[in-house]
Amino acid sequence: MMTLGFGSTWRLLGAVGCSAVLILGGAACSDDGHDLGGSGGTAGNGGTSANGGTGANGGSGGVATACEQAGGTVVESDCCTGAGDFPNLCSVGACGCAPQNSAPTQICNCPGNTCWDGVKCADGGFGGAGGGGGSGGAGGAAGSGGVAGAGGFGGGAADCVNSGGVVKDSLCCAGTGDFPNTCGVGACGCSPGNSEMVQVCECPLDVCFDGTSCVSP
């Protein structure tokens, strides 16, 4: 050690120090004897990504809003079973079935002479009023010398009364005529602007008029 120059002694000490560090598991050395820096730490894992929330499901509120925006009012009414909420009231009435064939249903009650067509309040129309249906005939003369008699009922009125029903006036869809069939699709559930006064047969409870007589549905 004494015969070595100062620079050589320093390099030897550096080499020894480097070896010691290697033995102890420290930093590695470069070829020129300098210590290398330690390895960097492992990168941390990022947090799990957040899942987006599920979208809200649209409900019948959208149709109710459309009704109100069109000037209508959402009400509950007995409509034909299976018609579903907010049925089309501009065509054949969906809310004029017999009670046993009806269920509580939300409908759009449109203003004035408009009706709900399933999307908006619109001008209805049934291809014209269909005429007055005729005056039912003059009924004929009383007959010479004969007493006028009780007169009785004729046609649909007789069928109604003979099967236990009662004849009365009611607003039904324009063009349906007197004594419509109330056992199937409702003929008397149109909006007032699309209805006219006709004669109907009001049958006893749990029966309906099929156009000929009061029958069980």
pLDDT in tens, the chain (217 residues): 444 444 444 443 444 444 444 334 444 444 555 445 455 445 445 444 444 443 333 345 788 999 999 899 999 888 888 888 998 888 766 777 777 778 899 999 888 888 888 889 988 644 333 334 444 444 444 444 444 444 455 678 888 999 999 998 888 888 888 988 888 767 787 877 778 888 989 898 888 888 889 998 7
- The tokens for 15 are 């080499």
Helices (H) and strands (E) in the chain, counts: 3, 8
pLDDT at residue 172 in the model: 85
**Which amino acid belongs to residue 130?**
G
pLDDT at residue 206 in the model: 85
If one counts every other C-beta atom within 10 angstroms of the C-beta of residue 78, the result is 18
Between CA 215 and CA 199 the distance in angstroms is 18
If one counts every other C-beta atom within 10 angstroms of the C-beta of residue 7, the result is 8
Burial 156-176 (b: 16+ CB within 10 A, else e): bbebbeebebebeeebbbbbb
pLDDT at residue 116 in the model: 86
- The tokens for 126 are 């049934």
pLDDT at residue 22 in the model: 39
Between CA 141 and CA 145 the distance in angstroms is 11
pLDDT at residue 182 in the model: 81
DSSP result, 104-123: EEEEEE-STTEEE-SSSEEE
Between CA 114 and CA 192 the distance in angstroms is 9
